[in-house]
Amino acid sequence: MSARECVIPVFVPHQGCPHRCVFCDQRRISGSRESATAETVRQAIEAAAALPPCGAKRQLAFYGGSFTAIPAKRQEELLAAAAEAIGRGALDAIRLSTRPDAIDGEVLERLRRFGVETVELGAQSMDDKVLRLSGRGHTAADVERAAAAIKAAGFRLVLQMMTGLPGDSDEKDMETARRLIDLRPDGARIYPTVIVRGTPLWELWKRGEYREHTVEDAVRVCAKLLPLFEEACVPVIRLGLNPTEELSGGEAAGGAYHPALGELVKSRVMLEKMRMLLAGTPQDSRVVLGAAERSLSQAIGQKKENLLALRREFGLRDAKVVPAAVEEGEILLLSVENGGEILYNNSVIS
């Protein structure tokens, strides 16, 4: 999501969901237990209006359920409350999330009537076996069909995928990302699987029938996925579940829950770039790398873990990263000193 958007979330926990997907408990994930009403929508807009202006597009977002599978009359009540706020200038746009098998011409016509701008589709995986084991109740073909219909009707499309689901692998996650990119979304969200207490996945994990997707597993695979989306110019607007008191307080029993997962992944992407730049560097060298001021901490890594890894893997005497005039996310190899000889380099990896 660009910095020019501010989102007013209204949760519709599990409303419209035909069943529970094995990993999901929206009440624990979002911390929201009440189902939204038109009054909730009005109150959320009023509360946002009372805050200092965010200087950006104000979007009301219906999250946490399968919005377009909620009974039509109920959808219309919620959408009408938001549309009324757009009409009087208190809101700029409406977005919502839903399931691929809850999209058809009639649904899209309703969303258009109320001025919805963005539809977020929970694809989760493009592997039918993973979808089946995760209890999703739809196929990859449903994702393709729904995404095409949303684009053709002129909505902005955001696709959500998960990593580490039952039956999943890094290769399947990469293939899912490629197939989602082919659907030309305007944005993507990546949610590595978290084992939420009380869900069927938690039961499977306790019985040893599901192998936990750890934070390290998520960082490894997401560091491969992020460059795929970036190269295709698809902005990844969220990586990892939003931290909540419930999840941090123990509802996340295992899996890839980390309050700063996105930062960990970006830091790993930087490490991969530095590894490429340093290939062939003689042992015992002292190397100086450069990064944009805003990327310095990601390049160095938490507790300097990237620098320590480079020293260890390349047998370096020293490795440091200094501020340099490069783009955010780029890495520059400034110099390599070995046996008193200094090689100035200046190769950049973006």
Residues at the site binding ligand SF4, with contacts judged by CB under 6 A? 14, 17, 20-21, 24, 26, 65-66, 99, 122
Contact between 161 and 180 under an 8 Å Cβ cutoff? The reply is yes
**DSSP 3-state of 266:** helix
- Least Cβ distance, residue 177 to ligand SF4 (angstroms): 19
Dihedral sign, Cα of residue 140, residue 142, residue 144, residue 147: negative
Q: Which is nearer to ligand SF4, 116 or 310 (CB)?
A: 116
**DSSP 3-state of 324:** coil
Q: Which is nearer to ligand SF4, 17 or 36 (CB)?
A: 17
Q: Which is nearer to ligand SF4, 200 or 227 (CB)?
A: 200
- Least Cβ distance, residue 35 to ligand SF4 (angstroms): 13
- Least Cβ distance, residue 21 to ligand SF4 (angstroms): 3
Q: Which is nearer to ligand SF4, 59 or 199 (CB)?
A: 199
Q: Which is nearer to ligand SF4, 17 or 225 (CB)?
A: 17
- Least Cβ distance, residue 238 to ligand SF4 (angstroms): 15
Task: List, as own/partner pairs, every contact residues 176-182 make where C-beta atoms lie below 8 angstroms and the sequence separation is at least 24, other chains included.
Answer: 176/123, 176/125, 176/126, 176/127, 177/225, 177/228, 177/229, 178/228, 179/126, 179/140, 179/144, 180/123, 180/126, 180/143, 181/228, 181/229, 181/232, 181/234
Report d(CA 75, CA 107) in Å as an integer.
10
Lookup: tokens for 332: 């520059």
Q: Which is nearer to ligand SF4, 61 or 85 (CB)?
A: 61
- Least Cβ distance, residue 41 to ligand SF4 (angstroms): 19
- Least Cβ distance, residue 68 to ligand SF4 (angstroms): 11
